[in-house]
Structure 1
Amino acid sequence: MPFKENYKKKIVLFASGNGTNVENILNYFKNNNRVSFLKVFTNNSKALVLKKIAPFTIKSRCFNNIELKEDLIFKELKLLNPDLIVLAGFLLKMPTSIINYFQNKIINIHPALLPNYGGKGMYGINVHKAVKMNNEKKSGITIHYVDNDYDTGEIIFQKEVKISQLDSVEDISNKVHNLELEHFPKVIELILFKV
């Protein structure tokens, strides 16, 4: 289908914590007139992401687990009808109803080279501690489509970074986070526009 001049690709973001990836994505696309950010959803009313999005003209929605499980969020998403749902540090498992309805329209970023260090409980610092404990020589990021299990969806993009035995858990975390900031917005753009 040819690109319609006035059509904007619609994105919804989900986050649970600091929101550095969300802020980075919003900044990356702020002058792009082909993208519209509809809403940021968070399951944490104290999440720093809410402060980070304040300078942007984007709505936010705090919700609880019951609203997610009972399909209230699903109903909202159907009304919004996004082209892409981006999980940027979102820690809850998406319900099957959302995954099935928005098949191949939900992406997640994971702070490791999947299939290694994925699955339930493997997020944030937990991943980096495991990488350090196993004396890995590299780590990285994986951007993947979301399916019904944790971190098992089709891989879209991976980027690795070398780590040394001298690197602390915090060093590993920083190296991986820098990869997230550098590549996540570019991969989103690639998915949206096949550039």
Structure 2
Amino acid sequence: MLTVAVLISGSGSNLRALLEAASHPDFPARIVVVGADRDAEGLAHAEAFGIPSFTVPFRSFDNREAWGEELARQLDVWTPDLIVLSGLMRLLPAALVARYAPQIINTHPAYLPEFPGAHGVRDALAAGVTQTGASVIVVDDGVDSGPILAQERVPVQEDDTEHALHERIKPVERRLLIDVVRRVATGELVLTH
């Protein structure tokens, strides 16, 4: 059984979908802990499913590296086989990525390598494209630059707002994430740098 740690910053909608999938007896992975970089709303999902959680507040540390060291200490308690960044709005320090790579994956609301970074949906709208998408990648030490594990296109509608487009991308992200975790757990998908 693949053990998974999930790291969040916000409401945890992708986390919720993954918790629901993992609660089915035939799903080959179990979430063992949920961590956050702030007092995130999404921690309530972990509590609802009886999953332990921890918080490592970014602002409590002098720098990203010190924050990353404490995050690693918390993760090491659970020895997860896979770490899922699910709306974690912080770049992980290179030392933390190197420690766990390639066993860290991330979702992104764009069809990478198009529109990397924190504002993928906004950037797609600003570029005037007719389609964007969702991606699941292996985390490397760049910004949304790791190997692509799964992705799917999502059309942009003429009257789309950032919120409306993002709401259409989220279900695709969730489905892709659940499928990637399942495929990693069954050995169908092997993570590489």
With the length of structure 2 as denominator, give the TM-score of the two structures: 0.87
Of 119, 125, 130, the match for 1:132: 125
Q: For residues 2 and 31 of structure 2, what CA distance do their matches in structure 1 show?
A: 8
1:78 matched residue in structure 2: 76
Cα deviation per residue 1:17-53 (whole Å; 9 max; x = unaligned)? Answer: 01010011000110236433221000111x1101222
Q: CA offset at residue 69 of structure 1? A: 2.5
Moved over 3 A (4+): none
Cα deviation per residue 1:63-88 (whole Å; 9 max; x = unaligned)? Answer: 12229622122123233221100000
Q: How well do the aligned residues superpose, as a CA RMSD in angstroms?
A: 1.7
Cα deviation per residue 1:155-192 (whole Å; 9 max; x = unaligned)? Answer: 11111111222322222111111211222111111122
Q: Secondary structure at the match of 1:161?
A: strand
Alignment of 1:26-175 (within 5 A): 26-32=19-25, 34-45=28-39, 47-65=40-58, 66=61, 69-70=65-66, 71-118=69-116, 122-123=117-118, 126-175=119-168
Structure 2: runs of 5 or more not aligned: 189-193
Cα deviation per residue 1:126-159 (whole Å; 9 max; x = unaligned)? Answer: 3222211211110111110001111011111111
2:191 matched residue in structure 1: none
Amino acid at match of 2:115: Y
User: What is the total number of aligned residue pairs between the two structures?
Assistant: 182
Preserved CA contact (<8 Å) 1:40 1:59: yes
Amino acid at match of 2:144: D
Amino acid at match of 1:173: H
After TM superposition, the structure 1 stretch with the greater mean CA deviation from structure 2, 29-38 or 18-27, is: 29-38
Preserved CA contact (<8 Å) 2:150 2:176: no
Residue identity over aligned pairs, in percent, reads 21
With the length of structure 1 as denominator, give the TM-score of the two structures: 0.86
Amino acid at match of 1:19: G
Preserved CA contact (<8 Å) 1:15 1:40: yes
Structure 1: runs of 5 or more not aligned: 1-7
